[in-house]
Amino acid sequence: MRVLVTGGAGFIGSHLCERLLNDGHHVLCVDNFFTGSRDNVAHLLGQPGFRMIEHDVCLPLYADVEWIFNLACPASPIHYQIDPIKTVQTNVMGMLNALENARRFGARILQASTSEVYGDPAVHPQVESYWGNVNPIGPRACYDEGKRVAETLMSDYHRQAKVDIRLARIFNTYGPRMAENDGRVVSNFILQALRGEPLTVYGTGEQTRSFCYVDDLVEGLVRLMSAEGIHEPVNLGNPVEFTMRELAETVAWLCGQEAQVVFRPLPQDDPAQRQPNISRAKSLLGWTPTVQLEEGLRRTIDDFRRRRNMEPLPERRSTTAHRAPVMGPVAD
């Protein structure tokens, strides 16, 4: 296939480009490098079938391709809240431009939507039929509502213009190439643990998330794009739920540190629970995550250590029951 990946130099996008190349596709990687990095795709430059161009998806781009993966948008609060108006524009104008490209060339298009469309959910775990609980005027709305409008555009282009759409609702994803400054809990905990600092936990630490390793997520995206006739949203994420305190404990242990925490107030509209129901992905795609949290975190920590020119730590294997409990709070 000839494949366009917008946001292709981002964390997930770069892994997707790599996978598509390995599968024998021709990949056009598009990114404006606001949060993406050339370093993420440097190893792909010069490979047959790979091309990268710098471009803002808010401006039209016409590429004669058969598949379009639209991953272009800042995905962490610290990034999408820097310029919320631009975030809305990226979600809406970027989606419109991608859909016009798909309509013009008859391409199949996949939108990287998000679990944030569910907001602070009143239904747990979250199923695709749930309409969500989102604050439309809060500080997260530029991303949450932007992604919801993008889903609306996808659905209307399918109904009105017969564009062949795929909607992936992506839950928390982690792995190598995460940006060190993205403010996400996994990267924050790893960096603090590697520095020997207390880990910053917001709220009580009892709020939960479900963490999917990036290779599993990319497998789900490829399966969804390859499947025929699936136009409804599909949750992609790991359904195993962890509290923030449990995550802090695991990261500290893998980094060889004593787990200590500093508590901070919970950010506005931060959801208390986030866990996907992946029954639809299992039944329609035969997809389920395979990488366990400890193994995925170990690979991610090794990548952070490599980028910081640190020697890898000796391998540590255990179960949660064998680890020391989180200590805290400590002096601020």
Given a contact cutoff of 8 angstroms between Cβ atoms, the answer to whether 70 and 7 are in contact is: yes
Domains identified in the chain and CATH numbers: 2-172+214-236 (3.40.50.720)
What pLDDT score was predicted for residue 325?
42
For residues 4 and 26, is the Cβ–Cβ distance under 8 A?
A: no
Longest dimension (CA), the chain: 59
The answer to whether the beta carbons of residues 123 and 130 sit under 8 Å apart is yes
CB within 8 Å of 38: residues ≥ 6 apart: 9, 52
Distance CA 260, CA 184 (A): 18
Question: What's residue 52's pLDDT?
Answer: 97
pLDDT of residue 322: 41
Block mean pLDDT (10 aa), the chain, length 332: 97 98 98 95 96 97 97 88 94 98 98 95 94 94 96 98 98 94 90 93 87 98 98 97 92 89 81 89 98 96 91 60 43 36
pLDDT at 122: 92
The residues that bridge with 264 in the sheet, in sequence order, are 202
- Please, are residues 8 and 41 in contact by the beta-carbon 8 Å criterion? yes
pTM here is: 0.92
Mind listing the pLDDT tens digit for each residue in 153-192?
999 999 999 999 999 999 999 999 999 888 889 999 999 9
Residue in 235, 220, 229 with CA at minimum distance from that of residue 289: 220
Cα 157 from chain centroid?
24
Q: Residue 81 has which token pair?
A: 């809240």
pLDDT of amino acid 328: 45
Pairing verdict, β 165-170 and 208-210: unpaired
pLDDT score, position 318: 57
pLDDT, position 330: 40
What was the pLDDT predicted at 324? 42
Per-residue pLDDT at 249:
92
Mean pLDDT of the chain: 91
Pairwise CA distance, residues 223 & 81, whole Å: 32
SS3 152: helix
Can you give the pLDDT at residue 237? 97
Do 98 and 58 contact (CB within 8 A), yes or no? Answer: no
Residue 286 burial (C-beta neighbours within 10 Å; 0-12, 13-18, 19+): exposed
**pLDDT (tens digit, 9 = 90+) per residue, 51-64?**
999 999 999 999 99
State how far the alpha carbon of 196 is from the alpha carbons of 67, 255, 260, in Å: 45, 9, 10
- Catalytic residue set: 143
